[in-house]
Amino acid sequence: MQALRGTQDILPDQADQWHYVENVIRRLCGLYGYREIRTPMFESTELFHRGIGDTTDVVTKEMYTFEDRGGRSVTLRPENTASVVRAYLEHKLYGDQQVHKFYYMGSMFRYDRPQAGRYREFHQFGVEVLDSALPAADAEVISLAYDIFSALGLHDLELHVNSIGCSKCRPVYRKKLIEYFSARQDELCDDCRERMEKNPLRILDCKEPGCRAAAAGAPLITDYLCEECREKFEALQQYLKAMDIPFTLDPRLVRGLDYYTNTAFEIQYPPLGAQSAVCGGGRYDGLVEEIGGPSIPGIGFAIGLERLILALQLQNLFPAKQESPLVYLACIGREASAMGMAVQRALRRENIVSEMDLQGRSLKGQMKQANKLQAAYTVIIGDDEVKKGTALIRTMADGTQEEVPADQAAGRIVKAITRS
């Protein structure tokens, strides 16, 4: 048996790298005042139809949807913004009229074409800020993402920002796009011909060569922004400059999900090549209302952890693992093992890593294992030590050893480690 295509096993050595990234993320989220939220891995399919949009590739092609035994249509979450908003509404967190700042980490599921850093079950970290319409919230969200990458050692970043307007100015731009692409339908893929009437902005996000060529001369959204959207976009740029966060204005940038409004942004890491985007986000002021709540603005971003970890591996940015001094207990026989377990328990209470033979090896085999594990000290207990109630402590670096009462062995090792 093998893992299904598009999934992976994260083995212990790899998990250490994941823990490192997750710890950096949690530390910075705490510094920014974000609190963790955990939502179910599956939701009612309707949530994603309403929250993500019926015309998106995620909904039409990529979701894992099934009917449960109660006849309900259920979907494994393909992203988490809609779920966070659902939880925010279900638990009436909006009742206190405060800004709520959430972060999450977990598995998402999309039936996508697997490639480097891209899986069908993938892990995503993201943040959501609800109940702030100010560009200052947009700037803070971008700053958090930028600081996380910087803390991990990724510095050659490219931040692309755009405004995709609001419900007042986007219809005008939408009309101009339809006029433009109507004359170029033959150059578009089948999907984009369908998108032209439903959501022509999605054509700008298509990766097909013909569609990219057709979109090259398309009207720019920034030429059609209303005064309010223009002021918000200018304020965002001012705040980013004040924080010394470099950015590129990218009027072709649209996010792949229908719920975005105003600010859209993407952080790219060019050394990754064609799949260089490591973070994407934007504002979604109409999403809460679309899901059935009051009119509450929001903004957030998501980072694919597989792709982030791949970038760190390619650049050798993971720090060397700091190993704690290891103590190995070599015990021969049942009585010796019982004494060894008492010593091991005392060591663990002092936060000292210790290992003991669980395969019935000979003393020689256990000493080989101690060397293989690079133990700093080995506690040896055999028949003679059992009779005397003692233990031999061997310092593995120079081979010296001393015999001590067994109930003092842990204390002696603690003192030796503290001195070193």
Boundary residue ending a domain (253, 284, 314): 314
Regarding whether 382 and 254 lie in a shared domain, the answer is no
d(CA 331, CA 406): 12
Look up the domain containing 397 and give its range.
327-419
143: domain CATH number is 3.30.930.10
Position 97 scores a pLDDT of 86
Instruction: Using alpha carbons, select from 42, 60, 5, 43 the residue that is nearest to residue 256.
Output: 60
Segment 73-100 shows an average pLDDT of 95
Is the pLDDT assigned to residue 225 strictly greater than 90? yes
361: domain CATH number is 3.40.50.800
Residues 6+ apart with CB under 8 A from 17: 309, 312, 313, 318
Assigned domain for 49 exists: yes
User: 182-191, 255-264, 362-371: which has the highest mean pLDDT?
Assistant: 362-371
Regarding whether 144 and 59 lie in a shared domain, the answer is yes
pLDDT bin (cut points 50, 70, 90) of residue 395 is very high
Position 258 scores a pLDDT of 61
Assigned domain for 100 exists: yes
Regarding whether 357 and 239 lie in a shared domain, the answer is no
Position 256 scores a pLDDT of 56
Assigned domain for 211 exists: no
Assigned domain for 200 exists: no
Position 257 scores a pLDDT of 59
Is the pLDDT assigned to residue 24 strictly greater than 80? yes
More confident residue, 106 or 198: 106
Regarding whether 308 and 388 lie in a shared domain, the answer is no
CA angle 261, 114, 56 (to 5 degrees): 25
Regarding whether 369 and 276 lie in a shared domain, the answer is no
Instruction: Using alpha carbons, select from 232, 199, 240, 237 the residue that is nearest to residue 59.
Output: 199
Segment 336-350 shows an average pLDDT of 97
Position 4 scores a pLDDT of 93
Boundary residue ending a domain (260, 283, 314): 314
Regarding whether 111 and 28 lie in a shared domain, the answer is yes
Boundary residue ending a domain (314, 341, 364): 314
Regarding whether 118 and 26 lie in a shared domain, the answer is yes
Position 416 scores a pLDDT of 92
* Residue 417 · residue 376 · CB < 8 Å: yes
pLDDT tens, position by position, 109-134: 999 888 877 899 999 999 999 999 99
Instruction: Using alpha carbons, select from 273, 265, 266 the residue that is nearest to residue 311.
Output: 273
Assigned domain for 183 exists: no
Residue 127 bridge partners (DSSP): 103, 301
For residues 235-267, one letter each, b for 16 or more C-beta atoms within 10 angstroms of the residue's C-beta and e for the rest, the string is ebbebbeeeebebeebbebbbebbbbbbbbbbb
Q: What average pLDDT does the chain have?
A: 93
Regarding whether 364 and 303 lie in a shared domain, the answer is no
d(CA 151, CA 341): 41
If one counts the domains in the chain, the total is: 2
Regarding whether 269 and 147 lie in a shared domain, the answer is yes
Assigned domain for 372 exists: yes
Regarding whether 383 and 263 lie in a shared domain, the answer is no
Position 167 scores a pLDDT of 86
Regarding whether 260 and 383 lie in a shared domain, the answer is no
pLDDT bin (cut points 50, 70, 90) of residue 374 is very high
pLDDT tens, position by position, 161-209: 999 999 899 889 889 888 888 888 888 898 888 888 778 888 887 888 8
Regarding whether 273 and 415 lie in a shared domain, the answer is no
Assigned domain for 16 exists: yes
Assigned domain for 366 exists: yes
